[in-house]
Structure 1
């Protein structure tokens, strides 16, 4: 079995921090970006600019349902044509083609009548954030999250060149515009600090954070991964993992790397861990993060 070098950073509630691997290396955050998008949307809810539970204009679903994947929208990653196009190095599809291919068979179910992971739903949340703030997403993230937490490495990838300086050499051949809800990049340290700031109350009001943490239970163990109970909240995977107990955060993966960014509140000194590695098995990064959560 090929070993996958893991780069990790952790920070505890008492202030202890540590790293494994390259502290200055920058990685794609993949679906951990969803957590960041959800934080921005919820901050707009706090300001009264958005409502979690009103149907969006002309749509059958709400912001909450988009954020917890209960809207009934399908996902482009379920389409073989999408994966073939990415593997072939084609130019990213236009938005019109993406929606035509993905929505060809309509909704998967009526809103709130099921659960299905949808990147399309998060693309629509980004649309809503940008329309409400009248600012591009990268400016919103910088103002709402990076500046308050003093995070300097995080960038929103907008061109293939934005991937050229990432740690994995394979990143140089990838166009981040294939990630239609956008893809953040940054260090493991800043990923850990971002989630830790969220979970320790530095980004959202207590009532809003409680809303964000309210999870839909989705089942038990997953083969090849540490989960023994799974759920999904608002931009957060939420459940329990072997040995480390409760885990709240997000995993992510693309064609050449994976990551797991989680807060483990059941640890003696609650800890947030961000782990990044190559390959396509998210379980590798998840096991690494969970292992650090129970390390002495």
Structure 2
């Protein structure tokens, strides 16, 4: 996964081992951010891309699905001049169901920007401040279990510099997979993490941890007077008009949907992780959406509809602890880091390109969510495989970015 220019937030490397274990056992008060919903007439303002562009885009994605050896993919790209939606391959394999634009899917860690926006909205309302210590916003038992909770700030939860450890997400996923209908609560993974103790003092490092965002949902509960789930619906989904997006609280994806599929290559066994609850990932990976809704959310975020320009700048400011050099050949090289709920990649060779966004991974599901700043272009891609996420990146994402930024070879 070293070639991935945005960290793919899922421990894919251990999945084959864990799959074998599964198979063996199976023998086993209000806010001011409440604008009117975005008008559906907006869709009429954009046309399809020119035919030659559309043909090339289709070729890149179709060839990429084949070369990456994944079941299928759905994608939406929006430039200032056109919008393109496409689906290729299969949403399910047994029985075969073709992928279609508009299908729902697990967005996994792309949930985190939603939580960040909610926290920044509450900060604008004076309900909290990013540099407040977290101890005054958490239940007493949780506050007392976190070392230095009086020093860890909300900002450090947002940018993963708190020193709080992550949980073992795959163990929680497999616990539900082996027990259909059973719900693993978010408290289970959270307490596993807190009992493990801190990784380092607050602000002294960068470690991506889903537990940071679980704690942020508890802060949203306390500061807003609503549950995290209610807040996301009222102050983000409804204002943006995201009618096909929800915080997932059942063990059934809305129809139609991309099935979350992984193939155990040695035996050819295909595992479907679609019918699981996601409550254990509260705020860190529990939203279901579509490519169109995710692009609408990104546009609302970048345009200042949901948060002020100064709050947006907070999201776009990476922590020094997370900054690293990155080589995205053949696209270019530069640096990358993590801001509050946002990954920023800045390339300066051979030309300037800034990518804002996030990636998300869950067994059988990988989501890539980007804003190309210099091109003023939004791109959301979902593929129904996580084990093949690196291949999706190499075979679909890089060729698309090369094409959209005119960086490909002649005739590309």
Give TM-score, length-normalised by structure 1: 0.87
**In the aligned structure 1, how far is the partner of 2:315 from the partner of 2:370?**
15
Q: 1:257 to 1:266 in 2, by over 3 A?
A: same
Which of 175, 179, 188 is the matching residue for 2:281? 179
Question: Measured at CA, do residues 200 and 99 of structure 1 come closer, stay the same or move farther in structure 2, by a change above 3 Å?
Answer: closer
Structure 2: tracts of 5 or more residues without a match: 1-66, 88-99, 137-142, 144-148, 261-271, 405-412
1:283 lines up with 2:283 in the alignment: no
Partner of 1:10: 77
1:167-215 Cα distance to aligned partner (Å, 9 max, x none): 2162433222232335111111111111122112221111111111101
Name the counterpart of 1:196.
299
Aligned residue in 2 for 1:261: 369
Corresponding residue for residue 232 of structure 2: 141
Number of the residue aligned with 2:312: 209
1:85 has 2:85 as partner = no
Name the SS of the counterpart of 1:173 in structure 2: coil
Map of 1:31 onto structure 2 = 109
State the TM-score, normalizing by the size of structure 2: 0.64
Q: Distance in 1 between matches of 2:402 and 2:248?
A: 33
Equivalenced residues, count? 292
Q: Corresponding residue for 1:292?
A: 400
Conserved? CA contact 2:119–2:220, under 8 Å: yes
Structure 2 contact 343–358 (Cα < 8 Å) conserved: yes
Does the aligned pair in 1 maintain the 2:163–2:200 contact within 8 Å? yes
Whether the aligned pair in 1 keeps the contact of 2:189 and 2:280 (CA below 8 Å) is no
CA drift at 1:247: 1.0
Change (3 A) 1:225 1:257: farther
- Mean alpha-carbon deviation: is it higher for 175-184 or for 53-62? 175-184
Which segments of 5 or more consecutive residues in structure 1 lack a partner in the other structure? none
C-alpha separation in 2, matches of 1:226 and 1:76:
34
The one-character-per-residue Cα deviations of 1:12-35 (angstroms, maximum 9, x if unpaired) are 2x2521111122211111100000
Of 378, 381, 396, the match for 1:272: 378
| Residue 204 of structure 2 is aligned to residue 113 of structure 1 | yes
- 1:78-116: per-residue Cα shift (whole Å, max 9, x none)? x77446535644744445543342233310011111000
Match of 2:121 among 43, 54, 58: 43
Q: Distance in 1 between matches of 2:226 and 2:258?
A: 29
Please give the alpha-carbon distance, in whole angstroms, between the structure 1 residues aligned to 2:332 and 2:109: 18
